[in-house]
Structure 1
Amino acid sequence: MSRITPDFKPCIVIPVYNHEHAIGQVVAGLKGFALPCLLIDDGSRPSCQQVLEQLAQAENHWLSLKRLAVNQGKGGAVSAGLLWAEQLGYSHAIQIDADGQHHTPDMHQFIAAAQNAPKALIAGQPVYDASVPKGRLYGRYLTHIWVWINTLSLAIKDSMCGFRVYPLTATCALLRRSQLGSRMDFDVEIMVRLHWAGIGIQQLPTPVQYPLDGVSHFAVWRDNLLISRMHAKLFFGMLWRSPILIARWFRA
């Protein structure tokens, strides 16, 4: 069970888009943590909407549901969930995916790390099994290189894992002042921008499998294009921040 104090009041945020066959098992695996859970229905089809409504009714003492009328993409759904969590008075939000790829027992160590470093972003560093598509695995290395360039640092080992604990004050302030990507580019961009803002980042190894229900919303051409555009935008953002980033590197 998680220790909740006035200064550390975490919740769970799960963006959901057409994962009706996996979300029940994911929710069941989280119940023992005794944390409030916010489900964000990102414009799912009726069959998924029905499953989410049933879960919210059955688990209404700890699970809440927010529906987005139009699909926003993963980043849009996560942003909506983080802002909602802050509005409800939570200090931290644990983001976890709805498809069952994340290892929920590792929540214990993620929560402990966030308690010990409440102002830091705690993020997963994936340990993959044989279920990961090889193209996706090798493609991640290109993003790693661009992130190291755009932060002038090797501090971020993996920027694409969606298993994270966000400090809500700093994260929601960033969401309000910056227009971030709303799809699969979101996880990378928000991590780089939090690093730029001086937020500490801790990464914890965690197993990742692909996915329980066989549903992936990664659109190869669209999302790779969005990620490429994001890296270009971040590169130019890095250039004018480079004196600060270089000075930070020397201090470290």
Structure 2
Amino acid sequence: MFKPCVMIPVYDHEHAIGDVVDAVLAHGLPCMLVDDGSKPSCARVLDQLAAAHPGTVVLVRHAVNQGKGAAVLTGFHSAAQAGYTHLLQVDADGQHNTGDIPRFVALARLHPHAVIAGCPVYDQSVPKLRLYARYLTHVWIWINTLSFAIRDSMCGFRVYPVAPVVALASRCSLGKRMNFDSEVLVRLFWDEVQVVNLPTRVTYPSDGVSHFMAFRDNVLISRMHTVLFFGMLIRLPKLLARKWRAA
């Protein structure tokens, strides 16, 4: 059985989320909105979207902000309870090219046990500092997996098989904020879940809202890389054996 759902974590993106939801629904997929403690003006927009599309748009809500990772994990548990087999994650700010949703879904159907990970193709709107800073994370991900299988661990446009993520979250504590996207891919890779990379256009709207907190999130990401590095050392024999089998 292949039963996908689109999940969008939302925190104060009331100006963009309506267009994102409309674009998702144009592809005939059900949509789950996870409100991560948004302010009242955004909460009202989300209530209106759910009311306008009963049965197609489902709204799940955190009473207070817990972080993007926590919102995504809430989406996974809700999806599992609803019987969905795959979760297509899209960011709420309009950066992702929702026209590529059919490509992601088709690849997920072809590789149902894999993560289909978006690999960003940027235009001139991308801030150069962010672009260059991403490579620091790329290098650590390649070190912590002993592999180039994950081309970009930070893009939030991806399809997950639900069961492996729920199982992973039940046995270890995953990052609850901006450290989630990278950590979950590395740990799924360690669990021998295949990662299929799919190039996709990503833009940065001039009026985009970023919730990246430079000090807090950089500390969390640095800590994540450190923990993953020691986790890689523990798994080193297994990872090396896996490389030799694939050679």
> Where on the TM-score scale, by shorter chain, does this alignment land: which range?
over 0.9
1:126 is matched with 120
Distance in 2 of aligned mates of 1:210 and 1:176: 34
Distance in 2 of aligned mates of 1:23 and 1:99: 7
SS at match of 2:230: helix
Distance in 2 of aligned mates of 1:34 and 1:153: 36
CA shift for structure 1 position 213: 4.3
Q: Deviations over 1:89-130 (max 9, x none)?
A: 000000000000000010111000000010000010000111
Distance in 2 of aligned mates of 1:224 and 1:198: 28
1:227 is matched with 221
Could you list the structure 1 runs, at least 4 aligned residues long, displaced by more than 2 angstroms after superposition. Answer: none
RMSD: 0.8
Determine whether 1:41 maps to 2:35: yes
Q: Deviations over 1:182-234 (max 9, x none)?
A: 11100000000000000000010000011474200111111111110000000
Distance in 2 of aligned mates of 1:213 and 1:81: 27
CA contact (8 A) 1:12 1:93 kept: yes
SS at match of 1:149: helix
Determine whether 1:22 maps to 2:16: yes
SS at match of 2:18: helix
Distance in 2 of aligned mates of 1:66 and 1:18: 15
Distance in 1 of aligned mates of 2:168 and 2:77: 11
1:250 is matched with 244
CA contact (8 A) 1:161 1:187 kept: yes
The equivalent position to 2:104 in structure 1, one of 99, 110, 125, is 110
Greater shift, 176-185 or 208-217, is seen at: 208-217
Matches within 5 A, 1:169-208: 169-208=163-202
Distance in 2 of aligned mates of 1:200 and 1:157: 13
Distance in 2 of aligned mates of 1:228 and 1:210: 24
Distance in 2 of aligned mates of 1:51 and 1:247: 51
Q: TM-score, normalised by structure 1?
A: 0.96
Q: TM-score, normalised by structure 2?
A: 0.98
2:88 is matched with 94
SS at match of 2:35: strand
55 and 165 in structure 1: CA distance in 2 versus 1, 3 angstrom threshold: same
79 and 213 in structure 1: CA distance in 2 versus 1, 3 angstrom threshold: farther
**Number of equivalent positions:** 246
Identity within the alignment, %: 61
CA contact (8 A) 1:22 1:212 kept: no
SS at match of 1:227: helix
The equivalent position to 1:52 in structure 2, one of 41, 46, 51, is 46
Distance in 2 of aligned mates of 1:211 and 1:235: 34
Distance in 2 of aligned mates of 1:195 and 1:113: 18
213 and 90 in structure 1: CA distance in 2 versus 1, 3 angstrom threshold: farther
CA shift for structure 1 position 164: 0.6
SS at match of 2:235: helix
Q: Deviations over 1:33-57 (max 9, x none)?
A: 1111110000000000000000000
CA shift for structure 1 position 61: 2.9
Determine whether 1:166 maps to 2:160: yes
CA shift for structure 1 position 10: 0.4
Greater shift, 128-137 or 143-152, is seen at: 128-137
